[in-house]
Amino acid sequence: MREWLQKLNDPARDPYERRYRLFSLLGITLIALWTAVVSFVDYNPLRFVFLAGILLVYIPTMIITLKTGRIQIGAGLSAIIAVYIMTPFLFFYDGGITAGVFNYAAASLVFIMMTMSGRFRTVMIVSDVVVIIACFALSYHYPTWVNPLGREASYVDAAISLLATLVVTGTAILFQLYMFRQERDILKEQQNKVADLNRSQNNFFSSMSHEIRTPINTIIGMNELILRDKTVSKEIAQDAEAIQGASRMLLALINDILDMSKIESGNMDIVEVTYDVSQLLLEVVGMIRDRAKEKGLAFNLDVDPSIPVMLCGDELRIKQVLVNL
């Protein structure tokens, strides 16, 4: 029972399984209670054997359903037994409209709605209504088919069935509200975790912003000293220019990555500036040339002389495109 209650209370489990656990146990308890009370007031061997047989079918069905996890099949089988077997038998054998079988039909309807899904649920709901209407019609046209109950048994049966229906309906409402509250609490907890994660992420990026920019700025500054030194060789100067261009591009990319507003919006702003085309191309070549040389590839640059010396656009994005190509 402790394990049963733990699984019933576990919000991680399938909601149909949780509802099936609750209403199957509740239904078996009510049938057993009804069998005992009605048999005490008006014992009838056939009714007793029938209800005992229903219990002997329901209990293994419930156990097998929960063991295999096939909730919809188990719930459907239980609904078929309740609608097509229990309702007609109890109606005609237990006093027809003078007894409480319609209350049990209503309880069956609640069970179907709470534990089943899809088209089969609709079929069983319609079937429940059709069976009730058919029982009414047949008892009206063929009253001799109905086995009358004594006055005392009819009152007891009606009272128990009404109480059972109220218990099932009330339990269904309360349990559904309980599940909604659980889901709300879980959602609130998840929202708090997301908020904490966002705060941690923002703190991380804020701290990393300084840690990453500082060494890059140092590289740019030290490399600037090399570029200003007129005594260095042409080859060193070219390498320094390549380092300078790559470092600036890296710094700009780092700035974009660390800009949380751009990450959250999913956009990167296009910043238009006037830039030197030859300087842009030299910086891209400086980044690619050594990699091509390591792979034994020839890297040649052919610039159309009609391209203007100065252009307007986002220099960083154009570099990114060229490097990626």
Three-class secondary structure assignment of 74-133: HHHHHHHHHHHHHHHHHHHHCCHHHCCHHHHHHHHHHHHHHHCCHHHHHHHHHHHHHHHH
Q: Stretch 288-315: mean pLDDT, rounded?
A: 88
Query: 79-93, 254-268, 271-285: lowest mean pLDDT where?
Result: 254-268
As given in the structure block, the two tokens for residue 235 are: 């080859």
Top-confidence residue, 273 or 199: 273
pLDDT tens for residues 48-86? 888 888 888 888 888 898 888 888 888 889 889 888 888
| For residue 261, pLDDT beyond 60 | no
Query: Given this model, what pLDDT does residue 263 score?
Result: 60
Query: Would you say 82 and 111 are in contact if contact means Cβ atoms under 8 Å apart?
Result: yes
pLDDT band at 197 (very low <50, low <70, confident <90, very high): confident
Closest CA to 118 of 148, 73, 80: 73
pTM over 0.85? The answer is: no
Residue 262, pLDDT score: 61
Mean per-residue pLDDT, 91-104: 75
DSSP H stretches of helix in the chain: 2-8, 15-41, 45-68, 71-80, 87-93, 101-115, 118-141, 151-228, 234-258, 260-265, 277-294, 315-324
For residue 308, pLDDT beyond 90: yes
Higher pLDDT, 124 or 51: 124
Place 312 in a pLDDT band, splitting at 50, 70 and 90. Answer: very high
* Closest to 221 measured CA to CA, from 248, 242, 192, 200: 248
pLDDT beyond 60 at 219: yes
Strands (E), the chain: 273-276, 310-313
Residue recorded with tokens 């019933």: 8
Neighbours of 238 (CB within 10 A): 15
- 148 — pLDDT class (breaks 50, 70, 90): confident
Q: Is the confidence at residue 132, as pLDDT, over 70?
A: yes
pLDDT score of 274 more than 90: yes
Q: Please enumerate in sequence order all residues whose Cβ is within 8 A of that of 324, keeping only pairs 6 or more positions apart, or say none.
A: none
Average pLDDT, the chain: 82
pLDDT value, residue 299: 87
Q: How many other CB atoms sit within 10 Å of the CB of residue 62?
A: 20
Query: CA 172 to CA 185: how far, in whole Å?
Result: 20
Q: How far is CA 293 from the centre of its chain?
A: 52
In angstroms, what is the C-alpha Rg of the chain? 39
- The number of residues in the chain equals 325
Tokens representing 252 are 């700009």
